[in-house]
A = this chain, B = another copy of it.
């Protein structure tokens, strides 16, 4: 990689996923260097699951993978942007984007699948 990356004290970088078709911001998660390398090798978005403490291939079990069109880095090298084509929906709640609510709690996103059908 020709751009210096500023991983934090936990060896993580925040990573935003944006849908290239709709332009919607889908989610924010975190990557390790390994997750980023796996994303580049496979062209499917990988993250690091802080709750499960392991490498996370997004959609690996649900089928809701994110095919990567481009990976960008910000000016300070401390945040990543995945431009992706999202299969199904990004959010485990069934919404296309994890940002489906306003801060006041109003639902503004679209539900694209029923989580009961996807997760066992």
Contacts and interface: CB of A to CB of B under 8 A. Distances in A.
This chain: how many copies in the complex? 2
Given A23-B23, A28-B79, A81-B25, A102 B14 contact: no
Contacts of A2: 103-105
B103 A72 contact: yes
A16 B82 CA distance: 13
A102 B73 contact: yes
A47 to B, nearest CB: 13
Instruction: Output the residue of A1, A27, A71, A103 with the most chain B CB within 10 A.
Output: A103
A72 B27 CA distance: 11
Query: Size band of the A side of the interface?
Result: 35 or more
A108 B108 CA distance: 31
Contacts of A102: 70-73
A93 interface: yes
A98 interface: yes
